Amino acid sequence: MNEHTTPLAVEPDPAANATDLLVERAALTPDAALFAVPDGVGGWRDVTAGDFLAQVRALAKGLVAAGVEPGEKIGLMCRTRYEWTLVDFATWFAGALLVPVYETSAPSQVHWNLSDSGATAVIVETADHFAKFDEVHPELPDVRHVWQIDLGDLEKLAASGGGVPDEEIERRRRLATAADVATIIYTSGTTGRPKGCVLTHGNFVETSRNAAVAMGDVVAPGSSTLLFVTTAHVFARFIAVLSVHAGVKVGHQADTKQLLPSLASFRPTFLLAVPRVFEKVYNSAEQKAEAGGKGGVFRRAAAVAVAHSKALDAGEVPLGLKLRFALFDRLVYSKLKKAMGGRIRYAVSGSAPLGTRLGHFFRSLDIRVLEGYGLTETTAPATVNLVSRFKIGTVGPALPGVSVRIDDDGEVLVRGENVFAGYWRDEAATAEVLRDGWFRTGDLGSLDDEGYLTITGRKKEIIVTAGGKNVAPAALEDPIRANPLVGQVVVVGDQKPFVSALVTLDAEMLPVWLNNAGEAADMPLAEAARHPKVLAEVQRAVDVANDAVSRAESIRKFVVLPVELTEAAGHLTPKMSVKRAVVVRDFAQEIADLYTVFPTTESVRTVPDAPTGRRSR
């Protein structure tokens, strides 16, 4: 199959804008909790839909009183917290729009987002955020207002708007139609300068309304979610808007180190996360069991969980497997579910592929990971596995109102209500990716006979070896990254005689792993990168990845880098995607060593050939 379309579930309304979603929700369930905020003593305090609407209107009045005009752009640099969505809707109610700035952005990135978009005001969260802005403020003459959340400026703004009549806010919020700009989101970009994606009110409204129908089991009345993915990214921001429309109660936790305690107290019914989070949950549980002398039990339990899920797909679970599953449910699964709050039924996963092993494992914990696919240019979702249409290993069928096509060269194309209007002030870049309504994603994939999409790689990242073999890095990187010891992995080998890899260690997991391996937990990262046990474990991870590919595609050498890949160093985007070109440039010597007979680093390992017949493809 080369094309699949899912019909609209809700007919589009050309007059609607994003503020209508909140007004409708507050009218339907004014007293129902729409948000929950920390109460300061380890619990949560509900904010009803009616209260949220009142706060949005008050803040919108403050923005109007400060001189914000319809159509103006306001930058927002803030971690994931309640105020993010409050500011988002208040800006829309004032007739303006937000330009998100990642809280981790450097001053130069702050300058680009604000200058290129033409922002006239900026809201920052912390003193550190203000310092980054202040460094480039002299070069931003159009920015007239700067407000800081931690200084109570939102409360001051709301208090200052008392003289603005309700009628003016109502007039302003109705100005925008579906075709008007709702936000400009600058792609974090793995290459080049970020481009501003223009998303319209129609993108948010129609995608939310149709997704709410398709995902009705997930966002049903009484559902709740704890957001910890950055709201500056379209993935979490769309879920926030969808939750307002559907009446989902939303909490926030920006500090992932506090995630488990927050899950235990908030007790959400579904999660939004990237695959790395699921890997961390699994790996942490495994290493904790290992430290308690129960590592073998955990691994047997995990194997049973995966087998049980696969048996469900086959249509029959043998009695012996049922009994083993019931035993491990009491010993292992129930404890892990309790640690995650005990109520999670679903998790929406995106941004990168989730390994089938993890999909099966969590499904047997009664947590169905609904893997989806989309980009900023598609207002987040284009496809997603649904409760009623679910296939592990795929990113699901197209959402209602969306068409997916596979081009002759394997590229995934998307058309529908979710596709963006184009790149801000960049007609050439827009024309390159938008043709006849189809958005060219740059990703490679395939559609099966039932319309399920599978992503196989990134078009620009395909490696062609000196022997002419095409290699998709993701097929090798994803299983290696699933190892608890591995932080990141970058496969290289373009125009080289064989495929190699740069590997970094997970600094958070490393001390636990070293302790379980009988080594000093405080071993420096540089020393660990050369340690025989560490190299052996990384080789084991590489062997697992090599098992799934042909010999020509397999990794023949790898090097463990004595550093982490970080966003601060420019190696990762804010959503933790690897900037491959930057990594290849910065570690050019290490890559050269991989193709040298006598490398300059002790961390280079040659991967031995697998036994005959082990790699069948």
Span 398-445, pLDDT tens digits: 999 999 999 999 999 999 999 999 999 999 999 999 999 999 999 999
Identify the weakest region by mean pLDDT among 203-207, 427-431, 607-611. 607-611
How confident is residue 82, by pLDDT bands cut at 50, 70 and 90? very high
Tokens 């009988």 correspond to: 518
Q: What is the mean pLDDT of residues 241-267?
A: 92
Q: Residue 68 above 80 pLDDT?
A: yes
Q: What's the mean per-residue pLDDT of the chain? A: 91
For residue 530, give the 3-state DSSP assignment. coil
Half-sphere exposure (Cβ direction) of 150: Cα atoms closer than 13 Å: 10
Q: What is the mean pLDDT of residues 485-512?
A: 91
Q: How far is CA 80 from CA 263, 377, 471, in A?
A: 15, 21, 37
Q: Residue 613 above 50 pLDDT?
A: no
167: buried, middle or exposed (CB in 10 Å: 19+, 13-18, 0-12)?
exposed
pLDDT in tens, 515-537: 888 999 899 999 999 999 999 99
Element (H, E) at 340: none
Query: Does residue 91 contact residue 175 with C-beta atoms inside 8 Å?
Result: no
Task: Determine the pLDDT at residue 269.
Answer: 96
Q: Residue 612 above 50 pLDDT?
A: no
Amino acid, single-letter form, for residue 134 = D
Task: Determine the pLDDT at residue 538.
Answer: 94
Task: Determine the pLDDT at residue 615.
Answer: 33
Closest CA to 84 of 123, 135, 46, 41: 123
Query: Does residue 198 contact residue 192 with C-beta atoms inside 8 Å?
Result: no
Q: What's the rounded Cα separation, in Å, for the pair 609 and 179?
A: 58
Task: Determine the pLDDT at residue 609.
Answer: 60
Query: Does residue 238 contact residue 250 with C-beta atoms inside 8 Å?
Result: no
Tokens 């290699």 correspond to: 471
Q: Residue 186 above 50 pLDDT?
A: yes
Name the residue with higher pLDDT: 596 or 159: 159
Query: Does residue 151 contact residue 67 with C-beta atoms inside 8 Å?
Result: no
Closest CA to 116 of 195, 176, 207: 195
How confident is residue 1, by pLDDT bands cut at 50, 70 and 90? low
Identify the weakest region by mean pLDDT among 326-330, 435-439, 462-466, 579-583. 462-466
Q: What's the rounded Cα separation, in Å, for the pair 347 and 271?
A: 4
Q: What's the rounded Cα separation, in Å, for the pair 399 and 372?
A: 10
Alpha carbon of residue 121 to chain centroid: 27
Q: Residue 610 above 60 pLDDT?
A: no
Q: What is the mean pLDDT of residues 387-407?
A: 94
Task: Determine the pLDDT at residue 465.
Answer: 80
> Would you state the structure tokens that stand for residue 401, as one six-digit string?
């109102």
How confident is residue 189, by pLDDT bands cut at 50, 70 and 90? low
Q: Residue 597 above 70 pLDDT?
A: no
Task: Determine the pLDDT at residue 73.
Answer: 98
pLDDT over 70 percentage in the chain: 96
Q: What's the rounded Cα separation, in Å, for the pair 109 and 125?
A: 16
Element (H, E) at 429: helix 427-433
Tokens 């450097």 correspond to: 106
Tokens 């109705």 correspond to: 174
Q: Residue 614 above 50 pLDDT?
A: no
> Would you state the structure tokens that stand for residue 525, as one six-digit string?
């990262």
Contacts of 159 (CB under 8 A, 6+ apart): 62
Q: Residue 451 above 50 pLDDT?
A: yes
Name the residue with higher pLDDT: 393 or 439: 439
Indicate the pTM of the whole model.
Answer: 0.84
Name the residue with higher pLDDT: 82 or 570: 82
Q: What's the rounded Cα separation, in Å, for the pair 82 and 459?
A: 37
Identify the weakest region by mean pLDDT among 317-326, 359-368, 589-598. 589-598
Q: Residue 393 above 80 pLDDT?
A: yes
How confident is residue 188, by pLDDT bands cut at 50, 70 and 90? low
Top-ranked range on mean pLDDT: pick from 117-121, 281-285, 454-458: 117-121
Element (H, E) at 126: none
263: buried, middle or exposed (CB in 10 Å: 19+, 13-18, 0-12)?
buried
Q: How far apart are the first and last CA of the chain?
A: 23
Beta pairing partners, 199: 183
pLDDT in tens, 295-345: 889 999 999 999 999 999 888 999 999 999 999 999 898 888 888 888 999
Q: Which residue ranges form the domains of the chain, and what is each CATH number?
A: 18-176+224-268 (3.40.50.12780), 273-459 (3.40.50.12780), 462-606 (3.30.300.30)
Q: What's the rounded Cα separation, in Å, for the pair 489 and 477?
A: 6
Task: Determine the pLDDT at residue 424.
Answer: 97
Strands 73-77 and 97-101: parallel
Q: What's the rounded Cα separation, in Å, for the pair 420 and 416?
A: 9
